[in-house]
Amino acid sequence: MAAGGVVAGRAAGGPPDGPVGVAARRPGPSVRGADRPVLLAVAHGSRNPAGVAATRALLDLVRAQRPELDVRCCFLDLAAPSLPEALAGLAADEPAVLVPLLLGTGYHLRVDIPGALAAARLPHVRLAPALGPDPLLATVLADRLAESGRAPGAGPVVLAAAGSSDPAAAADTRRTARLLAARLADGRPVVPAYLSAARPTPHEAVEALHAAGHRRVAVATYLLGPGFFADRAADTPAHWTSAPLGTHDALARLVAARYDGACAGLRDRAPAGSKPRAGRRRRPVLTPTP
């Protein structure tokens, strides 16, 4: 997938995305982010350079849609900068919203990310929810299916998700399957399937639909970018397989919406009747969510 003008390792007009040493705390907020929390996006990461490029391209689109925001990028694994490195790059009193580029609830969101926040001891950082489930993701999935050549009503769809042993993650995938079926609105079933840790696999789901008499089946790749899992999603006897979500206006809007929701929660929690000091703009205090 093309990176669409990505400048590798650096946010346009912002701080470097490369590794930051623990001792290299920033002296203070950037000019662009001086009156707003930083949007720090954390993705899973991939050994595939195209997967990392897809993440950076998506965040370039967020920057284009919301140029007033200081948008930064980090990864949980397999790519740099890591989440601890990115947190170390924040000034001690610099507010930020950590937006997980994850498609559902799972171990990373419940354990890994809160653990990194606790270790960083940054009271001005707040954790936003995962991207999915959400109707905007169903919009992106439907568009990618159309791009693959599947016509409306052409056959059932297998939703190929990464998979997790966490029951909440499987529930999120099932809900996304229902959202996609509603978005397609063509009367064809959408069957959830999992590329790891759960059953059925996409291959098994496609074969089961063939055995039930469906000649043409589509696979909707429910992944953010190319990589090992995307290659596995494409390795089925399906008639059509969509590309990963990638860069899409609706997906970029969803990233910004998760950030806005976390910021709105901060405003709602402000003490009644509180006022900023004269001559200074009040800045929100961010705290990690469970």
How many Cα atoms occupy the beta-carbon half-sphere of 100 within 13 Å?
A: 27
Cβ 135 vs Cβ 183: under 8 Å = yes
Domains and CATH numbers, the chain: 135-241 (3.40.50.1400)
| pTM for the structure as a whole | 0.81
Cβ 50 vs Cβ 36: under 8 Å = no
Q: From residue 262, how far is each of 84, 85, 91, 160, 222 by CA, in Å?
A: 21, 22, 20, 29, 25
- Please report how the helices 135-148 and 249-268 are oriented relative to each other, as an axis angle in degrees rounded to 10: 170
Task: Give the pLDDT confidence of 183-203 residue by residue, as tens digits.
Answer: 999 999 999 999 999 999 999
CB atoms within 10 A of CB 212: 10
Task: Give the pLDDT confidence of 13-71 residue by residue, as tens digits.
Answer: 333 343 333 334 444 444 454 579 999 999 999 999 999 999 999 999 999 999 999 99
Task: Give the pLDDT confidence of 119-145 residue by residue, as tens digits.
Answer: 999 988 999 999 999 999 999 999 999
In what order do the strands lie in the sheet containing 190-194?
A: 190-194, 157-161, 218-222, 240-241
pLDDT at 107: 86
